[in-house]
Amino acid sequence: MQVQQRAARSTLYGNCITLGRPGSGINVGQHSFAAITSNTIEDNADVGIIVHEAPSARIGFIDVAARDIHRRLALKNAAAE
């Protein structure tokens, strides 16, 4: 699943991303921003979440001032084993 490319922004909330072979579950690419919360990410051929080439990502929260944190781990991806 290619989520972002060059200077894009996105919020991913409440998704189930499984069996994303070949590749990663979520890919946050060059100069992008993603807020990734309350997702199930598993059984991908590579990593569950990859953040590369100068982007930024908030994983497990959307707003730094918010008190409610939504945590969901990326589990059972090939690169984590």
Q: How far is CA 53 from CA 22, 32, 50, in A?
A: 20, 9, 10
Token pair listed for 71: 């945590």
Total domain count, the chain: 1
Whether the predicted pLDDT of 78 surpasses 60: yes
* pLDDT of res. 15: 87
Amino acid identity, position 65: A
> Token pair 């990593």 is at which residue?
47
Domain membership of residue 55 as a residue range:
2-80
* pLDDT tens-digit readout, 20-39: 667 778 888 888 999 988 88
pLDDT per position as a tens digit, 28-73: 888 899 998 888 888 888 888 888 888 899 888 888 787 666 666 6
Number of helical (H) and strand (E) elements in the chain, helices listed first:
0, 8
CA 52 to each of CA 5, 26, 55, 66, 67: distance values in angstroms, whole numbers, following the listed order: 11, 11, 6, 26, 28
pLDDT, mean of residues 7-12: 85
